[in-house]
């Protein structure tokens, strides 16, 4: 069995449009976000997901519901997929943070870890997401390993957030996101794909990042 992990960022919210940090706060999709999710779900359905996991925050859950509507695959809620928490900065724009906490704003903009304002470390965010993914993978392998062939592709979709996705992927690829910030957050309703590598280190490779269409010709290509 070969695994394809799809990390799908939620659709647009009013806070995205106004460039405000949402973090762990719970906001719904706006009208554009609903339209984005409906369109993207039709694309992602082409990969025939076997499982759909979603952050329990409303913007992710609403996004996941569009994929459920076109696939019939139930949504499994996972709070560990939540966005990176931003403490006292949640609800603020970058300009407002700079005015309020200029020193820690500079630390943040330089790719380091802010202190004293309640912002979750990227490493901690990445570890909780990677742990959730590992649990999901173990469950799927235990359930499906005897019923699918070794070359069959099993797709699992994780609906989450820009920060939690990028930090989680960096961790799954063996990087510490507090030290290596090679991936940034994706656009709304875009996705990334990791593919399994048997007995390799790391056991995943990044196949695509920040996509919004599916290349049908490569969905079931012979090998990874």
Return d(Cα 161, Cα 9) in angstroms, integer: 5
Q: Binding site annotation covers 73?
A: no
34 has catalytic annotation: no
Q: Is 10 annotated as a binding residue?
A: yes
174 is in an annotated binding site: no
- Asked if 113 is an active-site residue, the reply is no
**Residue 209 annotated as binding site:** no
User: Is it true that the peptide bond before 202 is cis, omega within 30 degrees of 0?
Assistant: yes
Residue 15: which H helix or E strand, with range? helix 14-17
Check the annotation: does 59 bind a ligand: yes
Indicate which residue of 34, 39, 65, 83 is catalytic.
83
Distance CA 83, CA 164 (A): 5
- Cβ burial of 191 (10 Å; 0-12, 13-18, 19+) is buried
Out of 10, 65, 78, 120, the active site residue is: 10
Q: Could you tell me which of 2, 84, 77, 12 has the C-alpha nearest to residue 47?
A: 2
223 is in an annotated binding site: no
Q: Is 167 annotated as a binding residue?
A: no
Catalytic residues, which ones? 10, 83
Q: Which residues contribute to the annotated binding site for substrate?
A: 9-16, 59, 83-86
Q: Which residues contribute to the annotated binding site?
A: 9-16, 59, 83-86
């Amino acid at each position: 069995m070969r695994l394809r992990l799809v990390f799908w960022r939620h659709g647009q919210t009013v806070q995205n449009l106004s460039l405000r940090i949402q973090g762990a706060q719970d906001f719904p999709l706006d009208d554009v976000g609903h339209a984005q999710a409906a369109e993207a779900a039709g694309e992602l359905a082409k990969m025939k997901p076997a499982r759909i996991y979603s952050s329990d925050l409303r913007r992710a859950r609403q996004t996941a519901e569009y994929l459920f509507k076109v696939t019939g695959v139930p949504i499994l809620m996972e709070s560990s997929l939540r966005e990176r928490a931003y403490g006292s900065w949640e609800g603020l724009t970058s300009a407002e943070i700079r005015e309020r906490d200029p020193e820690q704003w500079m630390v943040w903009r330089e790719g380091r870890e802010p202190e004293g304002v309640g912002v979750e470390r990227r490493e901690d965010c990445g570890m909780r997401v990677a742990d959730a993914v590992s649990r999901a993978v173990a469950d799927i392998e235990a359930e499906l390993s005897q019923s699918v062939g070794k070359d069959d592709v099993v797709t699992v979709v994780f609906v989450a957030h820009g920060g939690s996705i990028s930090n989680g992927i960096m961790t799954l690829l063996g990087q510490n996101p507090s030290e290596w910030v090679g991936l940034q957050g994706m656009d709304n309703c875009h996705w990334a794909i990791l593919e399994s590598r048997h007995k390799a280190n790391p056991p995943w490779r990044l196949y695509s990042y920040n996509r919004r269409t599916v290349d049908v010709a490569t969905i079931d290509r012979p090998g990874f």
